[in-house]
Amino acid sequence: MKLILAIVNNDDAHTVNANLSKNGFFVTKIASTGGFLMSGNSTFLIGVDDAQVESCIELIGKYSKKRVQQAPVDMSYTGQPFTGIPAEVIVGGATIFVLNVEKYEHV
């Protein structure tokens, strides 16, 4: 078994959630915040059998769009010199991690 952890733009989260559920995936959606832009995104936790990993990733990718976002003017919280900070960044589609699950219980 694997745990898929997917960070998705809030604008795509509803569609991603709906399509995962429609396709039989069990999903937990957590409200999260990107450390760079400090804006809201959604993190999905999806427990799947090994054989379902690729179809799950494909589905998330299908409904997660790339978009250009403005970086905030004041990013002093990053501790980086201002010269190295881009004015615009490409966000998405989705950032996905696949973790091994040692044990799964539903009691």
In the complex, minimum distance from the CB of residue 79 to ligand 2BA, in angstroms, rounded to a whole number? 11
Cα–Cα distance measured from residue 100 to residue 107, given in angstroms and rounded to the nearest whole number: 20
Note whether 75 and 47 are within 8 A (CB).
no
Dihedral class, residue 86 (left if φ above 0, else alpha if ψ from -120 to 50, else beta): beta
Where in 85-104 is the site for ligand 2BA (CB under 6 A)? 86, 89-92, 95
Where in 29-88 is the site for ligand 2BA (CB under 6 A)? 34-37, 41, 86
Q: What residue ranges bind ligand 2BA (CB under 6 A)?
A: 7, 34-37, 41, 86, 89-92, 95
